[in-house]
Amino acid sequence: MIRQRLRHLVVPLLSSAVLLVLATAAGWLLDGGPGAVGGAAGVALVTFSYALSSLAIAWADSVHPKMVMSVGLATYITKFMLFGVVMFGLVDGDWGGVRMMAAAMIVATIGWVSAQVWWTFRDHRPQVTTTGD
């Protein structure tokens, strides 16, 4: 049942894989090794974040659909608090990959959301239905 709720993940994950290669290459060209690591880390963090949210929400929906909002919000708040702590820690440091990491996070977010929107508009399969309350 959860698998049906996650069928949208294929297209955004493929999009993220392409962006991972591009961000790593762009980081290498612009900032050398640290830029490549920063670009890859930015895409990987965003991909992990969205995949984790999808898994948490699919689980909540399979247990009880009324849990989706609270689980989704709790996951969102937790992730972005951790992102904030990590980014503030990196900005205060001297690491040369911060700029590419931030840029890759922005691009990966746009890429994931665009891929998911594209999939949503092209998917014509019936939606998963839940049993009545």
pLDDT digits (tens, 9 = 90+) for 24-48: 999 999 999 999 999 999 999 999 9
Q: What is the dihedral of CA 16, 22, 26, 28, to 10 degrees?
A: 90
- What pLDDT is stored for residue 126 in this prediction? 62
pTM: 0.83
Sequence-distant (≥ 6) Cβ neighbours of residue 9 within 8 angstroms = 51, 54
Count CB neighbours of 58 within 10 A. 22
pLDDT single digits (tens) 57-90: 999 988 998 999 999 999 999 988 988 888 888 8
Listed by start position, the domains of the chain span 2-119
- What pLDDT is stored for residue 122 in this prediction? 83
- Which runs of consecutive H residues, i.e. helices, occur in the chain? 2-5, 10-63, 68-92, 98-122
pLDDT single digits (tens) 86-128: 888 887 778 889 999 999 999 999 999 999 999 888 876 666 5
Q: For the residues 16-27, what does the mean pLDDT come to?
A: 97
Eight-class DSSP state of 96: T
Give the Å distances, CA to CA, from 70 to 41, 75, 85, 123: 28, 8, 23, 26
Measured distance between the N- and C-terminal CA atoms of the chain, rounded to whole angstroms: 17
Count CB neighbours of 93 within 10 A. 9
38 touches 101 (CB < 8 A) = yes
